[in-house]
Amino acid sequence: MKKIIGLYPGSFDPITNGHLDIITRASKIVDILIIGVAENEKKVHLFSMEERKKLVASQLAKLKKIGNTKVYDFNELLMNFAKKIKAKIIIRGLRAVSDFDYEFQMTGMNARINSDIETVFLMASEKHQFISSRFVKEICALNGEIKTFVPREVEKALKKKLQKK
């Protein structure tokens, strides 16, 4: 049987426990899950592509028992990348209503570009509902505690970048 490849795209600047929850759950519904770290010239990232990929990879290594996850970077139209890696579904996480409008529009556009690839939304778990890379960065920059939002390696990397001792 043909393996179902899922693509979970995002900025992952940096990866949070919310992303990890989606990765863990998505990896159970596809055969191979590709985490696609997006390069977007219009966005200013705190972490470079190499750093973002490295932080994702460090967490995937811990999920080894899943064993079907890989991290790639991409710098092109999402649907072109999805086709290139033969993804059948795109995975997105959905937090409160604020995510909905943007995701709804993007999914509609993507379906027009390639209707063979479905976008599947996983609802954020209750525990991770309010975690966003953006707020984690803001909290860390103001010397707030971020332990419960991100893995240890990410916490260390964020503190190194944002907290001047």
Residues that bind ligand ADP (CB under 6 A): 10-12, 16, 18-19, 22, 92-93, 95, 99, 124, 128, 131-133
Which residues belong to the active site?
19, 43, 95, 133
Least CB distance from residue 109 to ligand ADP, whole Å?
14
Least CB distance from residue 64 to ligand ADP, whole Å?
22
Of the pair 5, 19, the CB lying nearest ligand ADP is at: 19
| Tokens read off for 3 | 């393996």
* In contact, 65 and 37? CB cutoff 8 Å: no
Of the pair 2, 108, the CB lying nearest ligand ADP is at: 108
3-state secondary structure (DSSP) of residue 39: coil
* In contact, 47 and 13? CB cutoff 8 Å: yes
Q: What's the rounded Cα separation, in Å, for the pair 98 and 110?
A: 20
Least CB distance from residue 18 to ligand ADP, whole Å?
2
Of the pair 5, 15, the CB lying nearest ligand ADP is at: 15
Q: What does R_g of the chain's alpha carbons equal in angstroms?
A: 16
Q: CA 49 from chain center: how many Å?
A: 13
